């Protein structure tokens, strides 16, 4: 695949960009003559989807926005799972290999939604960006910290409009929380708790050893494409749809799955940057007495992670952020009455920010924010508060995909681009922070050798010091092996 932007490619996209400001002046037939709701073809983006089953369906469909844009290509390694998108967008070209699609259709595709498993986000997004395509990439942005850094830099370098798929970023609740914090209601924040009930898929289990036939609709080549840059493994349903989340080869565990939703509010509200250190412990699994299972290939059944942040221009206090998953959640702070939920809806997931004047909570996706003040008062977001988002109540996922397509039309560095809530300038560093937790978890899980009694030794079970700028753990060299990954032969050099 060509690494340089093709000269022929940019012409259509440049027209789209120019169209945002000048096309109206060139139109021969005025819009009102064409009828209400008519969108001239030149005002539509040509969209493609990479990963169109599961979440990929709503990503491409929300970006299509009832015909506001065209869907010209669908790439999925499993046409059966992506059936809804394939039948809905029946004129779109079908692909199984995103590299081929990007290569063959580089002149025709303006923007791509990327919604496959986590391990292919980074390489697919980079391949698309290098061809000048705008990208919408599901959370977590990438599988590892290095890839997140590369995509953040790449979006600027290739001047494309980017958005990560943490749709809660566009929830008015986040604006409400920023307003409350900026008004000084809860004072300086020193401690944050984020928690989730995930994993809700098999996780923390021993590596499967039983043999399974590939489903008949999946060819060997489809499976090879699905494995992509990861280590080659035989087909197993535990590695496939949805369940891939529990294995480091493909997924990023509970923290990777929900961190970009739940760490988003404090990261945004407090203006956090790279953490300075991280420490964790994880749940153990016993199938025999006294000796825990050793499963470095699998994400743990639960984790408890502490990240430290220095003061920021927005928050004049160091912050300790405590993450917990696998059913472990924080306790009620004194300010939340005993009979009240910790956050919203049964508190399966939530966020608590503790300041010196009060505390602020929200549920997942920035929903239902609440402030509890030191004097006992409680503040809730008015039900009709839209935070300046015209799509807050009218479009799916608060218009998160639609606003990205509109920003693509307006062009790189346009007002609409700059007002996106999760472009990579923001989403990249936030994802790196989430993945710092995973770096600690993997260091904790991985034996460094054996002691003189023949037992596994775990030197990585300590507080890890992080130099964010240079992407290095400074006090435990093996942990740096988790900053990036090895790519399987045939998938190298894409990022």
Ligand X SMILES: NC(=O)c1ccc[n+]([C@@H]2O[C@H](COP(=O)([O-])OP(=O)(O)OC[C@H]3O[C@@H](n4cnc5c(N)ncnc54)[C@H](O)[C@@H]3O)[C@@H](O)[C@H]2O)c1
List residues binding ligand X (CB under 6 A). 50-51, 53-56, 75-78, 81-82, 98, 115-118, 120, 138-139, 165, 167, 225-226, 228, 241-242, 257
- DSSP-derived secondary structure letter, 318: -
Nearest residue (CB) to ligand X, 139 versus 193 = 139
Q: Do strands 134-137 and 162-164 pair parallel, antiparallel, or not at all (unpaired)?
A: parallel
Least distance (Å) between residue 92 CB and ligand X: 14
Nearest residue (CB) to ligand X, 138 versus 443 = 138
Nearest residue (CB) to ligand X, 228 versus 355 = 228
Least distance (Å) between residue 142 CB and ligand X: 10
* Contact by Cβ (8 Å): 296, 201: no
Least distance (Å) between residue 28 CB and ligand X: 40
Least distance (Å) between residue 53 CB and ligand X: 3
Least distance (Å) between residue 182 CB and ligand X: 27
Least distance (Å) between residue 225 CB and ligand X: 5
Q: Pick from 330, 370, 373: which is nearest to 193 by CA?
A: 330
Q: For residue 174, which phi and psi values (nearest 5 degrees)?
A: -70, -35
Least distance (Å) between residue 261 CB and ligand X: 7
Sole residue written with tokens 């063959």: 104
* Contact by Cβ (8 Å): 124, 77: no
Cβ count within 10 A of residue 262: 31
Nearest residue (CB) to ligand X, 243 versus 314 = 243
Nearest residue (CB) to ligand X, 95 versus 372 = 95
Least distance (Å) between residue 117 CB and ligand X: 5
488 preceded by a cis bond (ω within 30 of 0): no
The alpha carbon dihedral of 164, 168, 171, 176 has a sign of: negative
Nearest residue (CB) to ligand X, 139 versus 442 = 139
Q: Which long-range contacts (CB under 8 A, 24 or more apart) does 314-318 make?
A: 314/181, 314/182, 314/269, 314/270, 314/271, 315/181, 315/188, 315/189, 315/270, 315/271, 316/188, 317/188, 317/189, 317/190, 317/356, 318/190
Nearest residue (CB) to ligand X, 140 versus 298 = 140
* Contact by Cβ (8 Å): 254, 299: yes
Least distance (Å) between residue 174 CB and ligand X: 15
- DSSP-derived secondary structure letter, 398: G
**CA dist list (Å): 8 to 22, 28, 97, 105, 107:** 21, 26, 22, 11, 7
- Which residue sits closest to ligand X, CB atoms considered? 54
Beta bridge partners of 278: 307, 464
Nearest residue (CB) to ligand X, 172 versus 246 = 246
**Cβ neighbours of residue 308 closer than 8 Å, sequence gap 6 or more:** 275, 276, 277, 278, 318, 319, 320, 321
Least distance (Å) between residue 21 CB and ligand X: 32
Nearest residue (CB) to ligand X, 144 versus 446 = 144
Q: Pick from 472, 492, 44: which is nearest to 230 by CA?
A: 492
Nearest residue (CB) to ligand X, 115 versus 144 = 115
Cβ count within 10 A of residue 5: 16
Nearest residue (CB) to ligand X, 82 versus 354 = 82
Burial (0-12, 13-18, 19+ Cβ within 10 Å), 188:
middle
């Amino acid at each position: 695949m060509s690494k340089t932007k093709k000269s022929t490619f940019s012409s259509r996209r440049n027209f789209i960009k120019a169209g945002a400001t000048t096309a109206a002046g060139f139109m021969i037939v005025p819009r009102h003559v064409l009828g209400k709701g008519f969108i001239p073809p030149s005002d539509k983006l040509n969209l493609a989807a990479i990963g169109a089953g599961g979440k990929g369906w709503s990503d491409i469909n929300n970006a299509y926005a009832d015909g506001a844009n065209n869907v010209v290509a669908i790439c999925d390694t499993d046409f059966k799972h992506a059936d809804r998108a394939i039948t809905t967008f029946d004129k779109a070209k079908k692909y199984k290999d995103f590299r081929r699609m990007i290569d063959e259709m580089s002149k025709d595709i303006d923007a791509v939604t990327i919604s496959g498993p986590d391990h292919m986000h980074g390489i697919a997004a980079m391949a698309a960006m290098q061809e000048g395509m705008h990208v919408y990439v599901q959370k977590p942005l990438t599988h590892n910290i290095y890839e997140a850094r590369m995509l953040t830099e790449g979006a600027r370098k290739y001047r494309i409009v980017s958005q990560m798929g943490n749709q809660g970023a566009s929830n008015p609740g986040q604006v409400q929380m920023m307003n409350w914090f900026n008004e000084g209601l809860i004072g300086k924040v020193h401690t944050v708790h984020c928690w989730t009930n995930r994993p809700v898929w098999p996780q923390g289990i021993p590596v499967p050893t039983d043999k399974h036939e590939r489903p008949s609709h999946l060819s060997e080549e489809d499976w090879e494409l699905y494995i992509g840059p990861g280590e080659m493994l035989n087909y197993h349903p535990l590695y496939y749809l949805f369940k891939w989340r529990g294995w480091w080869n493909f997924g990023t565990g509970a923290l990777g799955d929900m961190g970009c939703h739940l760490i988003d509010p404090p990261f945004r509200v407090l203006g956090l940057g790279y953490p300075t250190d991280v420490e964790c412990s994880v749940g153990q699994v016993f199938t025999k007495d006294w000796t825990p299972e050793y499963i470095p290939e699998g994400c743990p059944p639960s984790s408890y992670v502490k990240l430290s942040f220095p003061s920021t221009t927005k928050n004049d206090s160091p912050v300790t952020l405590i993450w917990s998953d696998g059913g472990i959640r924080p306790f009620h702070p004194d300010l939340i009455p005993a009979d009240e939920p910790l956050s919203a809806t049964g508190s399966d997931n939530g966020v608590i920010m503790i300041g010196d004047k009060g505390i602020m909570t929200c549920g997942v996706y920035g929903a239902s924010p609440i402030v509890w003040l030191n004097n006992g008062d409680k503040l809730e977001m008015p039900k009709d508060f839209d935070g300046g988002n015209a799509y807050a109540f009218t479009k799916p996922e608060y218009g998160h995909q639609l606003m990205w397509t509109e920003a693509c039309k307006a062009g790189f560095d346009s007002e609409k681009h700059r007002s996106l809530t999760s472009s990579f300038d923001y989403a990249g560093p936030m994802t790196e922070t989430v993945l710092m937790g995973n770096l600690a978890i993997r260091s904790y899980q991985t034996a460094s050798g054996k002691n003189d009694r023949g037992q596994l030794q775990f030197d990585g079970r300590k507080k890890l010091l992080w130099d964010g700028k240079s992407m290095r753990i400074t006090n435990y060299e093996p942990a740096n092996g988790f900053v990036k990954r090895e790519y399987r032969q045939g998938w190298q050099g894409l990022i």
